[in-house]
Chain A
Amino acid sequence: MDASGKRTAPRSGIVGAVGSAIPHESSEKHVSGEAIYTDDIPEPKGLLHLAVGMSSKAHARISSIDLSAVRAAPGVIDVMIADDIPGDNNYGPVIADDPVLAPGLVQYAGQAVFAVAAITVEQARKAAQLGLIEYEELEPILDARKALAAGSFVLPSASIKRGDSTAAIASAAHRLKGSVSVGGQDHFYLEGQIAMALPAEDGDLFVYSSTQHPGEIQQLVAAAIGRQSKDVVVECRRMGGAFGGKESQPALIACIAGLMAQKTGRPCKLRLDRDDDMIMTGKRHDFEIDYDVGFTDNGRIEGIEFMFASRCGMSADLSGAINDRTMFHCDNAYFLENVTIVSHRCKTNTVSNTAFRGFGGPQGMFGIECVVDDIARHLGKDPLDVRRENFYGIGERDTTHYLQTVDDNVIHEIVDELEKSSDYRRRVDEIRQFNQAHELLKRGIALTPVKFGISFTATHLNQAGALLHIYADGTVHLNHGGTEMGQGLFTKVAQVVAEELQIDIDRIKITASDTSKVPNASATAASSGSDLNGKAAQAAARTIRNRLLKFAAAHYAVAEDEVVFENNEVQIGDQRVPFEKLVHQAWFARISLSATGFYSTPQINYDRSTFSGRPFFYYAYGAAVAEVIIDTLTGEHRLLRVDILHDCGKSLNPAIDMGQIEGGFIQGVGWLTSEELWWNAAGELKTHAPSTYKIPTCSDLPVDFRVRLLESTANREDTIHRSKAVGEPPLMLSLSVFCAIRDAVASVGGNNRVPGLQAPATPESVLNAISEQQAAS
């Protein structure tokens, strides 16, 4: 398919069939400003606005809190501290170590200590500045290396071992050791964290939350107010971006709103200011990575040892599963026969780091891509040749270190095609010549692969539910447990239902995620949204369709196989009946037109205690070639050309998938280049606004950007219409950019010295790496 999204012929005649590149279901509302986000919901009478008083210390005991000035401030109605919480003072999703309001000990600068409710937003925010908190300061631990030295961890360290890496490294022809660091990343969803809680009868709460996980908000808010799940309903129509940042983090916001609504008996809204949002909520984990690798003359890895230490922040949050995914993905597309991986989950006095698109996978893949790059430089080989030398085989060398067989490997096919279509070899030569002719500007190129495992590694989360009603006029109400954050999930699931019922998509009302319609839904995360919810919605639609089919056969006295749903009509024997007419007849005949659907991913099984089994239903693949140019006087770079070939299986919606691929890639480029999180010596985050934290903008798009979907490869597994998940995998295509910058840097030292480039590759980081090359050559 070409870049404009015109390819795959729709599979049936209806509008919005599976495979058609229809626009996002809300696109008209987006462009006209009519899409309603949480802060746009009409405010109920008597609404109070909330603000949070934060800790100014990274690690301290609170010796006293004086909120008299806060209470006395204009417009203030109430204040709240930890002692006021009637239920659990916790919003931690896995382990109860995340207090909603600090109970006497503060563990990062920016931690919530008190909340204030006032008539207006401005009044609440002004009042929140007036709290007098006295601290007894404790020594903070601010980074992963220091935590490692101090033995400070949020969770026990973990390891995976296969074969004998020590012996394999020792006996290998070549050996390299190195350390690389990779920075964290703020989500910078354009819509900040927000929740609005409305008291209801019986002391219940109705909560609007911008969240990827309404079910968890429901549980945690209920527990905080000392009630049960049945007492809280959570709704979310859409988020203005999430990227993992609204998986566990919104619970803090919703709990504060819910608690204050309970305390005051009035509706309460907490919308964080951008700076507070960036200070108070978790980010992608930054990692320190050490490696020791032994390899052959051809660059084939014989043995490798990895040490990963991530900065988890002050609590566990989702760090366990995130760091597990780092361990799973530090092979990327490479067969590691003898391998030892050690993973440390470091506890630091910084905000608790959390889920972010890729969920630890990108950092693991960053590690191995640096290693294969280094091997190539050490041997004086083209990095692509070394990458190929190490790819998983087909039918051999195909078992991962966690003992899952890679049986759907298309990486050879993708890389071969991309190498050719991007003209990789010719450009490598051309770049060499350019670099010889230019003193100050240097170009670099890299082709990197992506193999990403799809499923929650916590097996029980791989389930989904849907609820479907067909009204007597033939229109449809669709609901499922997934959430819409811009990824197009609601569009894709509606396409699945349209296809199943053979009706135009505009007959289907897409509705907000709602805990009272679908219970116990997992977070919309792990790229699994359409895999899980698509299947669940399909099941619900199929149930009703089968009822209609049986009814039609009986009513029109034909055999069941003579009833065919097709293009807004139903062929019944030799009659064609409009869909809505059949529906009306069925309603009149007292046929149930409402159904739930349920899906649980088959085949997966995995034992965390041994790190072995089949955690992933399948893998998504892709590859990218990036070409950059750097300025050796300043360390600045520009992205010249990027070619991407990505595998979405049989795409449910090529336009939406293209958007995910391009967007994920650019977001990854930001992570690895311009986005730098910077804390001062006191542990205060100083890059907490777009003025200081720089995500990619329009001109950061490659000058020449060629993105294609891998043509017509059906998922080997029985996923929803044989499609593949696309949310996270493309982010890691951005490793090609980092490796291309490494290539440009290495050219300064003659292409055979390992470039000590640390991520993000800011101008300063690049210039430092250039200096090392200059000093060595």
Chain B
Amino acid sequence: MLDGKIVELGSVDPTRTVLQYLREDIGQMGTKEGCAEGDCGACTVAMAEVDATAKHLQVRAINSCIQFLPTLDGKELITVESLRGPDGGLHPVQQAMVDRHGSQCGFCTPGFIMSLFALFKNNASPSRREIDDALAGNLCRCAAYRSIIEAANTMGSDYGERQRAGGWLLEPHAANARAGSDEKSRVDLLNSLKSDHTLAVESHHRKFFAPQCSDEMANLLHEYPAATILAGGTDVGLRVTKQHQELEVVIYTGRVSELRAQAVSDSQLEIGAAVPLSDAMQLIIEYFPTLEELFLRFASPPIRNAATLGGNIANGSPIGDSMPVLLVLDTSLVLRKDDGRRTLALSDFYIDYQQTALQPGEFVEKILIPLPVDGAHVESYKVSKRFDQDISAVCGAYQLLLDGGNVADIKIAYGGMAAMCKRAEQCEKTLRGKPWNEALLDEAMNALDRDFTPLSDMRSTAEYRQRICRNLLQRFYLDTTGAGDERLYSYGR
């Protein structure tokens, strides 16, 4: 659905991106390409889908440059060209950006507008921190950020009259439930598009499947064991836009109901592999509040809205930010192949650089995270050149259980220190059963040198990684003893 109308596409290359469709196929040039890898935000669009209540629309910003077109089946695509009101006037978000001088060269502006629009539909009076987070995926090289923040501060409040006449697109979050809104007709339209069948697209010598349930997913993978499994596409998309790979068979996890489900049992969080990171993180933070900063610094909202926890795990990157903390939380995975399922500890899942224990035709169905242990300290810290939306040089995670003053149990894991994210076994061994004090800390820090032999690359030298690995353990020690200073990230905010 685009601009409130259903658009049916007959023959479309399944790996065509939404951005290519907009710019090259239908000539809507408002959405821009800045990097074609989801890191600059010039291509940001909004996607609306019917939420769990089946009555309302949920709006999320996504990067159109790496989103494959068939993944939008049954959803509404909203672009910068969609926003003008029925009177032809600017949307409150657009007007606020004009009034506050939020554009200079203007090339990033449509992307900012769409991120602000998604914010406006979810939270019309955001705090500075919420604004920073909502815009973490939008780069403005003219650096008109102060004006843009001011625009974000006023977009929900200053344009009342026009909003009331403008319908759902122009209504800020707070007014969502009001009568007279055309939200219902949009919801009805989207509901009418619902289907119980696997979406199958075959075109341009490619096959694309979007199964609806795990059984179908297993069947498809049985038939096409070499298929590319597509989740959020925030990595697979780059294989097409940057490496120019030809993906022959793509199986999309985003409609598999079991993979989209989250649940909390007596003992664990159960997160479907295709749950968007933004939802998965929200659930995890609810149970592990100390992880909020890590997740705020993890990618950007458009990426977190598309990417999935399962994708982050199955990708097997040595620098993924979710893995260290999931490792120390004793996470396990439910893997499925055909009719068989097995549960594997995450620590056994990684074999080597970008190699996992997944067999051909097997997929991650669920991620199981044990509920917090009473009295346990859990922390994860990342270090990168930029605070927001950067890949870690090093990411460390820790779970400590003290018994009196002694270490009853400790789990430590690092990303960026080896060919894969892994536990610091030597270091853990040094600490277990011993008194948790500074003398022991020194010994444990030395043990880390035996656990890891990091590499030098564009993110940092090996020497820096080694030092940071030790220093983050020190930070954890200080945080558990209450001697740690305030966090830099929130200092003064």
Contacts and interface: CB of A to CB of B under 8 A. Distances in A.
Task: State whether these chains interact.
Answer: yes
Interface of A: 3-5, 21, 23-24, 26-37, 39-40, 42, 121-122, 125-126, 129, 187-192, 238-243, 273-275, 438-441, 485-488, 629, 631, 633-634, 636-638, 640-641, 655-656, 658-659, 662-667, 670, 674, 676, 678, 686-687, 689-692, 694-701, 703-705, 707, 762-764, 767-768
A694 B471 CA distance: 23
Contacts of A190: 32, 34, 40, 42, 105, 107-108, 139-141
A691 B471 contact: no
B488 A696 contact: no
6 closest cross-chain pairs (CB), A and B: A33-B30, A486-B105, A240-B107, A30-B106, A666-B143, A690-B39
24 contacts: A21-B101, A31-B93, A31-B102, A31-B103, A122-B244, A189-B107, A190-B40, A191-B105, A238-B105, A243-B141, A274-B34, A440-B485, A487-B104, A629-B491, A634-B471, A692-B458, A694-B385, A695-B141, A696-B145, A696-B386, A697-B139, A697-B386, A697-B388, A767-B468
Given A191-B32, A633-B471, A699 B132 contact: yes
Contact of B464 (A21, A189, A638, A764): A764
B94 A31 contact: yes
B105 A763 contact: no
B333 interface: no
A696 B472 CA distance: 24
Contacts of B107: 37, 189-191, 240-241, 486
A658 B472 contact: no
A634 B383 contact: yes
Contact of B144 (A631, A641, A659, A704): A659
A762 B391 CA distance: 14
B146 interface: yes
Interface string B144-177: 1111111000000000000000000000000000
Contacts of A27: 97-98, 101, 103, 106
Interface centre among A23, A31, A36, A763, by most B CB within 10 Å? A31
Contacts of B242: 273, 275
Contacts of A676: 385, 458
Contact of B486 (A441, A486, A633, A670): A441
B110 A633 contact: no
A699 B387 contact: yes
A35 B131 CA distance: 25
A229 B142 CA distance: 33
B387 A703 contact: no
A690 B105 contact: no
A32 B485 contact: no
B145 A636 contact: no
B134 to A, nearest CB: 8
A694 B136 CA distance: 12
A694 B390 contact: yes
A666 B149 CA distance: 14
Interface in B374-433: 383-391, 393
Contacts, number: 271
B109 A31 contact: yes
B442 to A, nearest CB: 15
Given A31-B109, A697-B386, A638 B32 contact: no
A771 to B, nearest CB: 8
B312 interface: no
Contacts of B99: 23
Interface stretch (B77-85, B189-197, B257-265): B77-85
Contacts of B133: 699
B182 to A, nearest CB: 21
A767 to B, nearest CB: 7
B144 A636 contact: no
B210 to A, nearest CB: 23
Contact of B131 (A239, A629, A695, A698): A698
Contacts of B136: 697-699
Given A31-B113, A190-B107, A633-B474, A699 B388 contact: yes
B464 A438 contact: no
B105 A485 contact: yes
A638 B488 contact: yes
Interface centre among A33, A486, A768, by most B CB within 10 Å? A33
A663 B29 contact: no
A665 B144 CA distance: 10
Given A31-B95, A274-B34, A440-B478, 16 more contacts: A4-B150, A29-B106, A32-B81, A189-B141, A190-B42, A191-B32, A241-B142, A274-B37, A486-B106, A636-B488, A663-B142, A664-B143, A687-B458, A690-B34, A698-B131, A700-B387
Contact of A488 (B104, B244, B471, B475): B104
B360 interface: no
B31 interface: yes
A486 to B, nearest CB: 3
A695 B145 CA distance: 13
Contacts of B178: none
Interface string B28-67: 1111111111011010000000000000000000000000
B315 interface: no
B94 A32 contact: yes
Contacts of B468: 634, 763, 767
B326 interface: no
Given A26-B106, A698-B149, A690 B37 contact: yes
Contact of A441 (B131, B150, B485): B485
A328 to B, nearest CB: 26
Nearest to A763: B383
Interface in B442-492: 457-461, 464, 467-468, 471-472, 474-475, 478, 484-486, 488-489, 491-492
A497 B161 CA distance: 36
Contacts of A687: 458
Interface centre among A30, A274, A662, A691, by most B CB within 10 Å? A30
A662 B492 contact: no
B101 A5 contact: yes
A715 B177 CA distance: 56
Given A638-B489, A686-B457, A701-B149, A188 B141 contact: yes
A663 B467 CA distance: 34
Nearest to A123: B244
A640 B29 contact: no
A662 B105 contact: no
A763 B105 CA distance: 31
Contacts of B90: 28, 31-32
Contact of A703 (B386, B471, B484, B492): B492
Given A23-B98, A24-B104, A33-B79, A678 B458 contact: yes
B106 A698 contact: no
Contact of B32 (A37, A125, A238, A637): A37
Interface centre among A191, A658, A704, by most B CB within 10 Å? A191
Interface string B2-42: 00000000000000000000011001111111111101101
A695 B139 contact: yes
Nearest to B243: A129
A280 to B, nearest CB: 15
Nearest to A707: B146
B387 A486 contact: no
B322 interface: no
A165 B31 CA distance: 57
Given A33-B31, A275-B242, A697-B389, A486 B145 contact: no
Nearest to A488: B104
Contacts of B30: 32-34
Interface centre among B24, B149, B390, B458, by most A CB within 10 Å? B458
B493 interface: yes
Contacts of B221: none
Nearest to A190: B107
A383 B33 CA distance: 45
B355 to A, nearest CB: 22
Contacts of B149: 698, 701
B138 interface: yes
